[in-house]
Amino acid sequence: MENIALIESFSEFKDDKLIDRVTLMAILEDVFRNALKKKYGSDDNFDIIINPDKGDMEIWRNRVVVEDGEVEDPNSEISLSEARRIEPDFEVGEDVSEEVKLIQLGRRAILALRQNLISKIHEHDNTNLYKQFKDLIGDIYTAEVHHVRPKAVILMDDEGNEIVLPKEKQIPNDYFKKGDNVRGVIENVELKGNKPQIIMSRTAPEFLEKLFEQEIPEVFDGLITIKKVVRIPGEKAKVAVDSYDDRIDPVGACVGMKGSRIHGIVRELGNENIDVINYTTNAQLYITRALSPAKVSTVKINEEAKTAEVFLKIEEVSKAIGRGGNNIKLASLLTGYEIDVIREGITEEEDDVELREFSDEIEAWVIEEFEKIGLDTARSVLNQDVADLVRRTDLEEETILDVMNILKEELEG
């Protein structure tokens, strides 16, 4: 009965840890064999019989009968007189099997057994958890905010597993509070000691790719292939898509009527601006598409240096460069070419002046606002629509008009 009672007391871990009974029994046998080695020096001559259905077990020690006074190893040998106290008809050379009660191991050994069992079950759980989440790397996962810290948000899934969303893996305008459901991709699983640390990311390109798979049936079904995703998280992204079925418009299918399909993805990413473009193996055409919404006049490619000179009309330059240079930066990342913008349409008579030349009359921060959207010369600013500049910069209309007047006086003076 002592064995059964002990097994039942150990079985509480099965319910706490959601470990199946067969696995628990295997761990129990391992733990008991370690205890037998410590007590008797070896467990080779012990049989451990575990009944997972009933939750009971028996331990039997097997010894060979030898003549009295010839016992060399008390663990594997038993004297004839001692054997006959068990059964009177034993003879020398026969095997004696004797049940060992756990209580015989001693109270201290039983406490050690329990502690060892806890350790083994934790080790088993951690190994399974590590394998489980290793297989989920790159997949979207949802968990609930458990705790918000300055450097990370700690999430908890439905099974009570802790997931870490570091600050640098969050989209800049993300805001979370306890109880919120958060989606991201499992980016990595790291072992911290024996405990796995699960890292989630919302800034990885894979997150945007997986959102396309979830939200756009043609991508999920493989009718549309995502060739490459590049992102500046929370600001802008470019996604190159392709389809082997000529009847499918991959860009139209991804964006949807009036942006209906991509709207949910944009909202999930904190209103990240997403350009979806048709992939092509024609490098010049690919670069032209990647610089959307700018209209490119000509592209000259140096394949060896992996560079491209892109010629644009003056009014298209700022669109190609984008706010803070984001558009041209992402186009370069998407295509694999370092892109250099060349302004066309300026004749020798139409001299232009760098904006920095006006630093005595225009404040430096105002000049920087224009430069952020790719406007770094007087004519590049004058060729813009005032209302458009108000929308694309942090400048007031009055400030823009003052700057334009200063520039006109210089150029037309």
**Against a cut of 0.75, is the pTM above it?**
no
What pLDDT, in 10s, does the model give residues 214-241? 999 999 999 999 999 999 999 999 999 9
The residue ranges of every structural domain in the chain are 2-131, 136-201, 205-344, 355-412
Q: What is the rounded average pLDDT for all residues in the chain? A: 84
CA pair distance 153, 21, nearest whole angstrom:
35
What pLDDT, in 10s, does the model give residues 197-207? 899 999 999 99
Beta carbons of 270 and 173 less than 8 angstroms apart: yes
Q: Which residue has the higher pLDDT, 134 or 107?
A: 134
* CA-based R_g, the chain, Å: 36
Beta carbons of 169 and 187 less than 8 angstroms apart: yes
- pLDDT of the residue at 212: 95
What pLDDT, in 10s, does the model give residues 294-333? 899 889 999 999 999 999 888 788 888 888 889 999 999 9
- pLDDT of the residue at 22: 63
Beta carbons of 197 and 164 less than 8 angstroms apart: yes
CA pair distance 374, 294, nearest whole angstrom:
12
Instruction: At 94, list the tokens.
Output: 């026969």
pLDDT band at 348 (very low <50, low <70, confident <90, very high): very low
CA pair distance 411, 155, nearest whole angstrom:
59
What pLDDT, in 10s, does the model give residues 126-160? 777 778 888 899 999 999 999 999 999 999 998 88
Question: Which residues 6+ apart lie within 8 Å of 2 measured at CB?
Answer: 101, 102, 103
User: Which of the four CATH numbers 3.30.428.10, 2.40.50.100, 3.30.70.20, 2.40.50.140 does domain 136-201 have?
Assistant: 2.40.50.140
- C-alpha distances out from residue 21 to 1, 17, 398, Å: 20, 11, 76
With CA atoms as reference, report the closest residue to 383 among 349, 347, 407: 407
CA pair distance 226, 209, nearest whole angstrom:
7
pLDDT over 90, % of the chain: 37
Q: With 70 as the cut, is the pLDDT of residue 196 above it?
A: yes
Which CATH class name applies to 2-131?
Answer: alpha beta
Beta carbons of 99 and 59 less than 8 angstroms apart: yes
What pLDDT, in 10s, does the model give residues 253-291? 999 888 888 999 999 999 999 999 999 999 999 999 999
Q: What are phi and psi of 164, to 5 degrees?
A: -105, 130
Q: Say which CATH superfamily domain 205-344 falls into.
A: K homology (KH) domain (3.30.300.20)
CA pair distance 356, 180, nearest whole angstrom:
47
Count of beta carbons in the 10 Å neighbourhood of residue 383:
16
Q: Which residue has the higher pLDDT, 47 or 2?
A: 47
